[in-house]
Amino acid sequence: MAQALNTALHDAMGADDRVVVFGEDVGKLGGVFRITDKLQQRFGEKRCFDTPLAESGIVGSAIGMALYGFKPVVEMQFDGFTYPAFEQIVSHLAKMRNRSRGRVQLPVVIRIPFGGGIGAVEHHSESPEAYFTHVAGLKVVSPGIPSDGYSLLRESIASPDPVLFFEPKRRYWLKEDADLPVTTEPIGTAVVRRQGTTATLFAYGPMVRTCLEAAQAGESEGWELEVVDLRSLNPFDAETVVASVRKTGHAVVVHEAQVFSGFGAEVAAQVAERAFYSLEAPVLRVGGFDIPYPAAKLEEFHLPDVDRILDAVDRSLAF
Amino acid sequence: MAQALNTALHDAMGADDRVVVFGEDVGKLGGVFRITDKLQQRFGEKRCFDTPLAESGIVGSAIGMALYGFKPVVEMQFDGFTYPAFEQIVSHLAKMRNRSRGRVQLPVVIRIPFGGGIGAVEHHSESPEAYFTHVAGLKVVSPGIPSDGYSLLRESIASPDPVLFFEPKRRYWLKEDADLPVTTEPIGTAVVRRQGTTATLFAYGPMVRTCLEAAQAGESEGWELEVVDLRSLNPFDAETVVASVRKTGHAVVVHEAQVFSGFGAEVAAQVAERAFYSLEAPVLRVGGFDIPYPAAKLEEFHLPDVDRILDAVDRSLAF
Amino acid sequence: MVTAPLPPDPAALLPPPEPVQVLDDSGTLHEVDGFPLDLKDEDFRNLYRYMVLARRVDKQAINLQRQGQLGVYASLLGQEAAQVGGAYALDEQDWVFPSYREMGAALVRGVDPSAILHLFRGTWLSDHDPMATHFGLLSIPIATQALHAAGYAMGAKLDGKDLVVMSYFGDGATSEGDAHEAMNFAAVYDAPCVFFVQNNQYAISVPLSKQTKAPTIAHKAVGYGMPGYRCDGNDVLASYAVARKAVDRARAGEGPCLIEAVTYRMEAHTTADDPTRYRTPEELARWKARDPIARFETFLTAEGLLDDVFRAEIDEEAKAYAARIRAELYDAPHGDPLELFEHVYVDPPASYAEQREQLRRELAANEAGA
Amino acid sequence: MVTAPLPPDPAALLPPPEPVQVLDDSGTLHEVDGFPLDLKDEDFRNLYRYMVLARRVDKQAINLQRQGQLGVYASLLGQEAAQVGGAYALDEQDWVFPSYREMGAALVRGVDPSAILHLFRGTWLSDHDPMATHFGLLSIPIATQALHAAGYAMGAKLDGKDLVVMSYFGDGATSEGDAHEAMNFAAVYDAPCVFFVQNNQYAISVPLSKQTKAPTIAHKAVGYGMPGYRCDGNDVLASYAVARKAVDRARAGEGPCLIEAVTYRMEAHTTADDPTRYRTPEELARWKARDPIARFETFLTAEGLLDDVFRAEIDEEAKAYAARIRAELYDAPHGDPLELFEHVYVDPPASYAEQREQLRRELAANEAGA
Ligand SMILES: Cc1ncc(C[n+]2csc(CCOP(=O)(O)OP(=O)(O)O)c2C)c(N)n1
Ligand SMILES: Cc1ncc(C[n+]2csc(CCOP(=O)(O)OP(=O)(O)O)c2C)c(N)n1
Ligand SMILES: [Mg+2]
Ligand SMILES: [Mg+2]
């Protein structure tokens, strides 16, 4: 995955010299996860550069650079350090096209390594996506597999509207046999990663892989679990989601974020509204508990895993 | 309502000299809505004072003052100016008790006048509550009637944990016959404001009044609409909510915020999970459209009103 | 000991002790070393014209608000010299990133005041074209536009374009983290960005003394390693001369700087404010005596640049402006509510069709009901 | 012209051109005007002791991380003098608000290093008692703790309490809006807060030259109207002397100030970092030659304050510390997972009972499975 993302950046910068990459430590160091590795070496300090340590500054100046005509791809070093930029994202980045009655566009991509599972210290394992799915004017995407990492990132950079690109950091080391460049399904499309009939698991980013593992494990129960990779949280592909629930009648939505008021609630609400008579049980939500992200040694108890997912399937089927 | 809130602040400061009020223009001016009127005059500049123009500074320094032993009640001048303080709220205010393993407590109240309907310019009519309901460690409340304004604010100030107190600014001028001081139901409790059997309307803050009007108007259709004032979004009173749905079988949740990924999704998801077999239709959500809050002359088309609510009831009943 | 070398004269980092003043309080001109005036008669007249027009437009806006035609309005009364003088130093290709009080700068930059006033009426969130006018959207969240300015200037610098950016903000705004980050970014990248602070002494009710302990706002520049200038913001020539220097430096690749124009907000913060709660008539009277237009008039008259013909001309123009504004704003209808869905995304999500349809139905029902 | 009066000598606002250095690079003492040393032999020894202990604890932590016992660790190697010297100027009742690199300051303040290391192991988010130790939680989000420090100091000031707060942060941190807002708040309220910047030349890979164009970090104080001091951060006596003055001023009600201790991070940013990507062996060697402990040793030896007995004593103590740390941290079990629900609210929501029950079931199932 990390390599696919790095290649996407290389290719995007190679293809369009208005694409610039900046953020904390993205230059010489190549980013703490090396996602921007060798960009500065190859494209020079004008195209890939380090900024002072200030996230509001990074996003706010990206807005200005986009107004000028560049296509900034900026990095928030970790999920938990996105918050200082909240104001610039919510009040400006998301709204400027609308505020200007369509006269301004801001093709900015904010890359955010997110989620837990790597034993990190506090503030390095957050899942803040729901704060942003509620913001009109933003697109919010998260790849679950490397080929999508490449393709969604290229499409995000090409997007005339701002995109928050959530990278599942625990899947940076995930491998996939894929020839790059690759073009997968467009933003706004959910994809059925595994067909099934017993129940549907909905996930995005890091939990796609976990759900696939759960589906596999579910076979021993005689379950045929369908796995839908949402990929694009906003815009949301209600059609694919509903089609799956029509088929299976049971839905479990899985994310790492705390469940209360999380994105799973939106999925549950949409499914209920759009597939009410197909549902044989309410959409169940599996996620982190409603607590601050815990310390490294305890994260395994907090994070959804195969067992917790299968337990939810069980409860859904027994409803 | 405005007067009830002002009285609550006077009474709280009178009762406990560790209560201090600060923020932008809360001193001499008494706040742009006069909610802090005469506090400085009565309690002096040490207990009620103006700050420099910096929201992160206000919340961050409130955290420090709370550590010292004060009980700060701070104001964000408008909903749309809460965002610069997001980092301090999410990463520090909400988490410090937990991070310190219970050794630290932060009795901070953040007052936020919120919502639209008063013809304000942009950034002055936002409904940002869902960003905060997703944050473990915060309490989030919003009164719909003046007596609750008084009582919930007093309780919030007394709370050893931080509270985000959302004041429905379009209801500042709402009147109610109530003798202050008054103690209403505690935080964590939803209240049935109007009994009914046809369907339940769920609301909080500014939309409580609108729902009561809708219920009244619904009478002409022969509907007996129940209105539940949620009051406390986190903690959430699932019990009262579910009891109402068990009775009516139909639920509509109403807020001003854009619907997508809003707090209504959480209500819908909870109701579906907890009252699946009682539901004769999915929980329908009524709110603002999924767009940035529009200009003053267009807000009436954006905001939920009696008609939009009754239309949803209609759809629910016809489901 | 490994440290960066300091400049030979460290005190040169500090703003000069007194603000630049070109016209003294009685309207007499004194050129100031280092801030030459390069103005022709034409320019003097233009500066005057813009100031008078700005004041007239401002008054018209306040009237419209009183008549219930605008939701709210933030007056520039008393700040005409600072705004006009600053913006007049810019070239065609340059950009301005304003706050909500920059009607004077807007006029200089050729932005139609009616478009600005539609924001305050609430017809749409904003109604001028930033790309065509090089005048950013009015920014209400304090200090946020300073970062857009820094970023735009960084872009120009990266692109090697001859272009200067001016960001206006207030004394209160200097307390926000965004102002700090903006000045730091601009400085680190040597971006051609002029931060123009109108120190009008108040942030709503909060006086400057409660906003900062810095000796002056210009002193804040020291922390970014850039020059801080001060000028008498009620002196249009000083405001211009200092902006001229700042813009020239930036254009020459010498990087950003901070200007503090010392002025006063003669009106309420906005039409919604009651300033009698926090300031005295005496203070107001003191500043009224320093009116920027009156002072410039004295000078122009003495120089023979202001005769009755020119006055009448400007008066006509001002009246025409006001009339156009009234015609454009008075009872101006809002646009089609369905337009609400038009400009959020180039490529709107599928759900927009449903929501648009819902609104269409509601509108139809209202029509039928009415 | 209505403006605030400037101080008689404006240049007095600026930090002195050279950092305060008490021990020169060869370890010879030169007292510096205005920064008197009030230290007894006992204190000299103590300072040395803390520095040596800090280095030993640091090394132990790095080893534990290499052995997979800590998730990550941020070393203070090279910054012992700055941290110890600064914290040594505080009294019992004073508070420290640290970043994540302040093991040295923690030791001086009597915080058990194992408690700090539990954070890096991930046993719990934090494991010392801030209320008892007057040492705030280690703050990872950059510069955010500076505001807590300012607020705490504002509280003390309001309460009329004799108490000084010291906030540690890095050179990179000075770019964040929160650092700016914190310094401004402290200055406006004259709060007894000392902002102690360890300028270790880097923010991860980003050198100071890309962080700011200010001549020095101390110059940033000018914009807040407070003094900015600089010291050789590899000189424990200079770090102490400057902190002493800063703390005394604050305690006397003279308000906050900023200290820049010029030092160097000898280790990687954290154990997860690879500094060979962004700095040279030559640079490292240059700073290694300026080792703060070696310099102080030269001085102490010359003064006859450091003999073999004392060395042995400290060595024993350091070994004991390291041993206690190993004993406490090595394979330390995490706490009861059910404790996850204990400390979020005093008064947890009803839903916690369900979630707790779910986790209990999961734990039971795992137990059964295992
Ligand atoms: C982030 C933010 N916080 C608060 C406000 C509310 N507010 C509007 S104007 C203002 C005062 C601004 O003062 P100053 O920067 O001096 O500009 P002036 O209005 O004097 O031109 C405040 C607090 C806001 N618009 N944005
Ligand atoms: C708000 C925030 N943004 C980014 C980071 C990631 N990060 C951790 S340490 C660091 C560099 C800090 O540099 P400096 O302030 O100089 O302190 P030092 O590590 O050198 O002690 C960064 C960027 C963070 N912890 N918090
Ligand atoms: Mg002002
Ligand atoms: Mg550093």
Give the residue from chain C lying closest to A88, CA to CA. Answer: C144
Q: With beta carbons less than 8 A apart as the criterion, state whether C96 and C138 touch.
A: no
C-alpha distance from residue B105 to each of B187, C224, D131, D155 (Å): 18, 37, 10, 15
Q: Which residues contact A28 (CB under 8 A, 6 or more apart)?
A: A40, A50, D205, D277, D278
DSSP line for A235-304: TT-HHHHHHHHHHHS-EEEEEEEESTTSHHHHHHHHHHHHSGGG-SSPPEEEEE-SS----GGGHHHHS-
Report CB contact under 8 Å: D176, C181.
yes
- And the tokens for B234? 């986190």
Among D122, D172, D211, the residue with its CB nearest the CB of A121 is D122
Report CB contact under 8 Å: B160, D346.
yes
DSSP line for C163-182: --EEEEEETGGGGSHHHHHH
Helices marked H in chain B: 2-15, 39-43, 55-68, 86-87, 96-99, 129-133, 146-158, 206-218, 238-248, 263-274, 299-302, 306-317
Give CA–CA dist D112/C259, Å, rounded.
50
Q: With beta carbons less than 8 A apart as the criterion, state whether A27 and A56 touch.
A: no
- The pLDDT tens digits for A40-74 are 999 999 999 999 999 999 999 999 999 999 999 99
Question: Residue C17: how many CB atoms within 10 A of its CB?
Answer: 13
Whether the upstream peptide bond of residue B181 has omega within 30° of 0, thus cis, is yes
- And the tokens for D8? 């008689």
Strands A139-141 and A232-234: antiparallel
Q: What is the mean pLDDT of chain B?
A: 98
* Residue A102 burial (C-beta neighbours within 10 Å; 0-12, 13-18, 19+): middle
- Beta-bridged to residue D27, according to DSSP, are none
**Ligand 4 centroid to D199 CA: how many Å?**
6
Q: Does residue B82 have its Cβ closer than 6 Å to ligand 1?
A: no
**Structure-model confidence comparison of residues B39 and D369, the more confident one:** B39
- The pLDDT tens digits for D228-287 are 999 999 999 999 999 999 999 999 999 999 999 999 999 999 999 999 999 999 999 999
Per-residue pLDDT at C1: 47
Sign of CA dihedral B188, B194, B199, B204: negative
Q: With beta carbons less than 8 A apart as the criterion, state whether D213 and C225 touch.
A: yes
Per-residue pLDDT at D2: 44
Give the residue from chain A lying closest to D344, CA to CA. Answer: A291
Phi, psi of C37 (to 5 degrees): -95, 130
Among D18, D210, D219, the residue with its CB nearest the CB of C223 is D219
| CATH architecture assigned to B2-171 | 3-Layer(aba) Sandwich (3.40)
Q: With beta carbons less than 8 A apart as the criterion, state whether A183 and A151 touch.
A: yes
Per-residue pLDDT at D369: 80
3-state helix, strand, coil in chain B (%, to 5): 40, 20, 40
- The pLDDT tens digits for B28-44 are 999 999 999 999 999 99
Question: Which residue has the CA at smallest separation from atom 3 of ligand 1?
Answer: B81
Per-residue pLDDT at D1: 46
Residue range(s) in chain B whose domain bears CATH number 3.40.50.970: 2-171
Residue A123 annotated in active site: no
Enumerate the residues of chain A whose CB falls inside 8 A of the CB of residue B276: 281-282, 319
Q: Which residues contact D161 (CB under 8 A, 6 or more apart)?
A: D93
What angle, rounded to 10 degrees, do the helices at D41-66 and D113-121 form?
A: 20
The CA R_g of chain D, rounded to the nearest whole Å, is: 22
Cβ of residue B86 closer than 8 Å to a chain A Cβ: yes
Split at pLDDT 50, 70, 90, the class of D6 is: low
Give CA–CA dist B67/B106, Å, rounded.
7
CA max distance for chain A: 59
Question: Residue A150: how many CB atoms within 10 A of its CB?
Answer: 27
Sign of CA dihedral B269, B273, B275, B279: positive
User: Could you tell me how many CB contacts below 8 A there are between chain B and chain D?
Assistant: 141
Strands C202-203 and C206-207: antiparallel
* Residue D305 burial (C-beta neighbours within 10 Å; 0-12, 13-18, 19+): middle
Give CA–CA dist B113/B116, Å, rounded.
10
Give CA–CA dist D342/D351, Å, rounded.
13
Per-residue pLDDT at D370: 65
- And the tokens for D50? 């803390």
Q: With beta carbons less than 8 A apart as the criterion, state whether D324 and B78 touch.
A: no
Q: With beta carbons less than 8 A apart as the criterion, state whether C59 and C211 touch.
A: no
3-state helix, strand, coil in chain A (%, to 5): 40, 20, 40
- The pLDDT tens digits for B246-263 are 999 999 999 999 999 999
Cβ of residue A206 closer than 8 Å to a chain D Cβ: no
Q: What is the 3-state secondary structure (H, E, C) of chain D?
A: CCCCCCCCCHHHHCCCCCCECCECCCCCECCECCECCCCCHHHHHHHHHHHHHHHHHHHHHHHHHHCCCCCCCCCCCCCHHHHHHHHHCCCCCCEEECCCCCHHHHHHCCCCHHHHHHHHHCCCCCCCCHHHHCECCCCCCCCHHHHHHHHHHHHHHHHCCCCCEEEEEECHHHHCHHHHHHHHHHHHCCCCEEEEEEECCEECCEEHHHCCCCCCHHHHHHHHCCCEEEEECCCHHHHHHHHHHHHHHHHCCCCCEEEEEECCCCCCCCCCCCHHHCCCHHHHHHHHCCCHHHHHHHHHHHHCCCCHHHHHHHHHHHHHHHHHHHHHHCCCCCCCHHHHHCCCCCCCCCHHHHHHHHHHHHHHHHHHHC
In A51-172, which ranges are E strands?
71-75, 109-114, 139-141, 163-168
The residues in D 65-124 lying below 8 A from B, measured between CB atoms, are 97, 124
Give the residue from chain A lying closest to C335, CA to CA. Answer: A101
* Residue D2 burial (C-beta neighbours within 10 Å; 0-12, 13-18, 19+): exposed
Rounded average pLDDT over B287-313: 98
CA angle C91, C95, C97 (to 5 degrees): 140
3-state helix, strand, coil in chain C (%, to 5): 50, 10, 40
Q: Does residue B299 have its Cβ closer than 6 Å to ligand 1?
A: no
Per-residue pLDDT at D13: 86
CATH class of B191-317: alpha beta
Rounded average pLDDT over A71-79: 98
Residue range(s) in chain A whose domain bears CATH number 3.40.50.920: 191-317
Task: Give average pLDDT by consecutive 10-residue segment, chain C, 370 residues.
Answer: 61 88 94 94 97 98 97 98 98 98 97 96 92 97 98 98 97 98 98 98 98 97 97 98 98 98 97 95 97 97 95 96 97 95 96 96 89
Split at pLDDT 50, 70, 90, the class of D4 is: low
Phi, psi of A93 (to 5 degrees): -55, -45
Per-residue pLDDT at C2: 44
Q: Does residue C202 have its Cβ closer than 6 Å to ligand 1?
A: yes
Cβ of residue B222 closer than 8 Å to a chain D Cβ: no
Cβ of residue B308 closer than 8 Å to a chain C Cβ: yes
Cβ of residue C156 closer than 8 Å to a chain A Cβ: yes
Rounded average pLDDT over A295-307: 97
Enumerate the residues of chain D whose CB falls inside 8 A of the CB of residue C286: 2
Split at pLDDT 50, 70, 90, the class of D16 is: confident
- And the tokens for A232? 């694009």
Spot the catalytic one: A92, A124, A134, A250: A124
Closest C-alpha to A252, from A294, A312, A195: A312
Phi, psi of C169 (to 5 degrees): -155, 175
Give CA–CA dist A244/A198, Å, rounded.
10
Per-residue pLDDT at B99: 97
Cβ of residue C263 closer than 8 Å to a chain D Cβ: no
Q: With beta carbons less than 8 A apart as the criterion, state whether D231 and D21 touch.
A: yes
Give CA–CA dist C44/C49, Å, rounded.
9
Q: Across chain A, how many H-helices and E-strands are there? A: 12, 12
- And the tokens for A274? 């759009």
* Residue B26 burial (C-beta neighbours within 10 Å; 0-12, 13-18, 19+): buried
Sign of CA dihedral A12, A17, A23, A26: positive
Whether the upstream peptide bond of residue A235 has omega within 30° of 0, thus cis, is yes
Q: Which residues surround ligand 2 with Cβ inside 6 Å?
A: A 24, 53, 55, 77, 81, 84; D 101, 140-142, 169-173, 200, 202-204, 265, 269
Rounded average pLDDT over A12-23: 98
Report CB contact under 8 Å: D346, B69.
no
C-alpha distance from residue C121 to each of B291, C109, C136, D100 (Å): 20, 21, 18, 50
Give CA–CA dist A114/A118, Å, rounded.
11
Most D CBs within 10 A among B19, B40, B53, B65, hence the mutation to make, goes to: B65
Give CA–CA dist A111/A149, Å, rounded.
11
